[in-house]
Amino acid sequence: MVIEWLRFKVPPEKWEAFIRRDEEVWTAGLKNIPGFLGKEIWVDAVENEVVMLIRWESREKWKSVPQSTIDELDGKMGDLQIAIAESREYQVPKFLR
């Protein structure tokens, strides 16, 4: 399993709308992608950040998502499209699964 970790700088007044739209657009869209296992969203009220942890079956399945799909989903975020401030990738060791 691989973890896609994303951090967004989101003003507090937009947290709820951003998270709701993300659920409607990204989470719903990812559910149709082979290899998508799930997602968690965390809010850091001190740093005004929203962190998303997306679980993938494998790096190959994650990276096989077509750029056109990514662009389409990103566009559907509309006025709540916020740039990724930081992204990371983590491997989950097989012996921990």
Q: What is the pLDDT of residue 97?
A: 59
Structural domain for 7, as ranges: 2-96
Q: Kindly list the distances between the CA atom of residue 44 and the CA atoms of 10, 15, 87, 96, in Å, as whole numbers in the listed order.
A: 10, 10, 16, 27
| CATH code, domain with 54 | 3.30.70.100
Q: What pTM does this model have?
A: 0.90
Rounded average pLDDT per 10-residue block, the chain, 97 residues = 97 96 97 96 95 97 96 97 97 78
Q: What is the pLDDT of residue 95?
A: 74
* Residue pointed to by tokens 């082979």: 34
> How many domains is the chain partitioned into structurally?
1
Q: Kindly list the distances between the CA atom of residue 91 and the CA atoms of 13, 35, 65, 72, in Å, as whole numbers in the listed order.
A: 34, 14, 18, 27
CB atoms within 10 A of CB 4: 18
Q: Which two tokens stand for residue 80?
A: 């709540």
Q: What is the pLDDT of residue 41?
A: 97
Q: What is the pLDDT of residue 48?
A: 94
